[in-house]
Amino acid sequence: MISLVEKYYVDTSIWIDLYEDRKGYNQEPLGDFALGLFALIRAKNNKLIITDILIKELEMNYSLEEINGMIKPFEDIIEKIISTGKQREEARNIANNRNIPAGDVLPAIIARDHKLILITRDNHFKQLVDISGYYKPEDII
């Protein structure tokens, strides 16, 4: 029996949910949902994708020490992907045409190009389903 490794691109907001154990507007346990997702990815020996874009976004709110602390527990299942100039250019073009941040378009493009399962809560991704589908953590766990 062949087991395919699934690869998950977890958006910045989900990492923050986990790190800060955040609650939603109606007190939904977003931190718990994120923890459940990360635990499931590990339990199934799947991969957690880290990109240069994710790190840059985390750096807006956290020190490198804090970011390393977030990532360290998962380093054995992490795979790193660096966005290409072509991907960044495509993201800028789509962002301009659809009036959404390029920083949201780029993860969808990376997910498409690398056949990743994109996990996010950001509503901008509703405008990008033609590029990549997406899930919330609670859709997976």
Q: What is the pLDDT of residues 59-84, one digit of tens each?
A: 999 999 999 999 999 999 999 999 99
The share of the chain scoring above pLDDT 90, in percent, equals: 94
Contact 67, 59 (CB under 8 A): yes
Can you read off the two tokens belonging to residue 134? 């997406």
Q: Is residue 2 part of a domain?
A: no
Residue that is written with structure tokens 């874009």 in the block: 53
Q: Is residue 42 part of a domain?
A: yes
Range of the domain at 126: 7-140
Quote the pLDDT of residue 136: 96
Would you say the pTM of this structure is higher than 0.75? yes
Can you read off the two tokens belonging to residue 114? 């690398």
Q: What's the CATH code of the domain at 103?
A: 3.40.50.1010
Q: Is residue 123 part of a domain?
A: yes
Contact 91, 107 (CB under 8 A): no
Q: Is residue 113 part of a domain?
A: yes
Q: Is residue 95 part of a domain?
A: yes
